[in-house]
């Protein structure tokens, strides 16, 4: 499905990159919210174009002032994972006391989900490899499951929300691990998952939630506030210079990164 949106054989947009952080060089004559010299972070998302030295962003678009307690690299790493996590937790109507399971809890979206779900008052369980136990626990997970040794659907635990960030499960597979009216967040779902999501409400109180997460300006401002307050901590696995862009992509494709991978055009710290 992503190929239909972003290009079947090659990217429709030749300049990739969905999020950025940097300093405003200049503004249009009618701009009032920002001024040259402001440090900002932004999330053009599907419009891409961020793998470049300069990027034009609309004043009323998904752009916000960079929290002073974050580096440019940390701010750049917030947008995708944080916005996606906010979108799906909002769709799931998360509330205090919910039991939430996050599959892929050490990834870019997963690390944001663990922290935000904890912030909203949920009890969080993370699913990851043993090497990432310490990281996921430090982000707020009360329990961590090693997916190589334990099948979360067979442990007898049930959850109000299961968030699958890596496409590792389906509604049929985890139905017995969901409570009555439980929600499965299929963040990396495909076409078969979409069909199942449409059918599920007709046969059960449990439902699947999927679809693209939008780039909302208000989400960027909320992420900035949460990061400034120390609620949302950026997790960066590796940093690459712009000249090593291909290496950065290759590492992400291993599906073994912890948090985000950041490429720096020139800004430091």
The answer to whether residue 192 scores a pLDDT higher than 70 is: no
**The predicted structure's pLDDT at residue 269:** 42
**Contact yes or no for 149/199 (Cβ under 8 A):** no
**The predicted structure's pLDDT at residue 12:** 84
**Contact yes or no for 152/177 (Cβ under 8 A):** yes
pLDDT band at residue 68 using 50, 70 and 90 as cut-offs = very high
Q: Using CB atoms within 10 A of its CB, is residue 54 exposed (0-12), middle (13-18) or buried (19+)? A: exposed
The answer to whether residue 203 scores a pLDDT higher than 80 is: no
Q: How far apart are CA 102 and CA 134, in angstroms?
A: 15
pLDDT tens-digit series, residues 4-62? 777 888 888 889 999 999 999 999 999 999 999 999 999 999 899 999 999 999 999 99
pLDDT band at residue 195 using 50, 70 and 90 as cut-offs = low
Ordered DSSP codes for 111-123? HHHHHHHHHTT-E
Query: What pTM value is reported for the model?
Result: 0.92
**The predicted structure's pLDDT at residue 10:** 83
Mean pLDDT computed over 233-239:
96
**The predicted structure's pLDDT at residue 217:** 95
**Contact yes or no for 20/50 (Cβ under 8 A):** yes
Q: How far apart are CA 239 and CA 91, in angstroms?
A: 32
Lowest-confidence range among 26-40, 133-147, 153-167, 204-218? Answer: 204-218
Mean pLDDT computed over 89-97:
97
Ordered DSSP codes for 46-98? GG---SSS-----TTSSEEEPPTTS-HHHHHTTHHHHHHHHHHHHHTT--TT-
Mean pLDDT computed over 203-227:
90
Q: Which is nearest to 209 in space by CA: 218, 219, 196, 222?
A: 196
Q: How many CA atoms lie within 13 A of 269 on its CB side?
A: 0
Lowest-confidence range among 21-30, 136-145, 172-181? Answer: 172-181
Domains, the chain, in order of start with CATH, read: 2-79+215-264 (3.90.180.10), 93-210 (3.40.50.720)
**The predicted structure's pLDDT at residue 170:** 87
Q: How far apart are CA 43 and CA 46, in angstroms?
A: 9
Q: Using CB atoms within 10 A of its CB, is residue 221 exposed (0-12), middle (13-18) or buried (19+)? A: middle
**Contact yes or no for 201/84 (Cβ under 8 A):** no
């Amino acid at each position: 499905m992503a190929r239909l949106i972003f290009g079947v054989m090659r990217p429709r947009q030749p300049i990739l990159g969905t999020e950025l952080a940097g300093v405003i060089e200049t503004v249009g004559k009618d701009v009032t919210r920002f001024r040259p010299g402001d440090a900002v972070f932004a999330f053009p998302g599907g419009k891409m174009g961020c793998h470049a030295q300069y990027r034009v962003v609309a004043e009323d678009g998904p752009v916000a002032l960079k929290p002073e307690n974050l580096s440019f690299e940390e701010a750049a790493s917030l947008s995708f994972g944080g916005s996606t996590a906010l979108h799906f937790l909002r769709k799931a109507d998360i509330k205090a006391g919910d039991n939430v399971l996050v599959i892929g809890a050490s990834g870019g979206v997963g690390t944001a989900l663990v922290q935000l779900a904890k912030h909203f008052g949920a009890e969080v369980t993370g699913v990851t490899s043993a090497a990432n136990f310490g990281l996921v626990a430090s982000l707020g997970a009360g329990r961590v499951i090693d997916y190589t040794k334990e099948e979360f659907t067979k442990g007898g635990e049930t959850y109000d929300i299961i968030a699958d960030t890596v496409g590792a499960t389906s509604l049929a597979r985890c139905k017995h691990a969901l409570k009555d009216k439980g929600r499965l967040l299929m963040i990396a779902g495909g076409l078969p998952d979409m069909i199942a999501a449409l059918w599920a409400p007709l046969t059960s109180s449990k439902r699947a939630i999927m679809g693209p997460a939008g780039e909302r300006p208000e989400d960027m401002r909320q992420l900035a506030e949460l990061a400034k307050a120390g609620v949302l901590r950026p997790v960066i696995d590796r940093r690459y210079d712009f000249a090593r862009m291909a290496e950065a992509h290759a590492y992400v494709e291993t599906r073994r990164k912890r948090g985000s991978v950041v490429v720096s055009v020139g800004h430091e710290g």
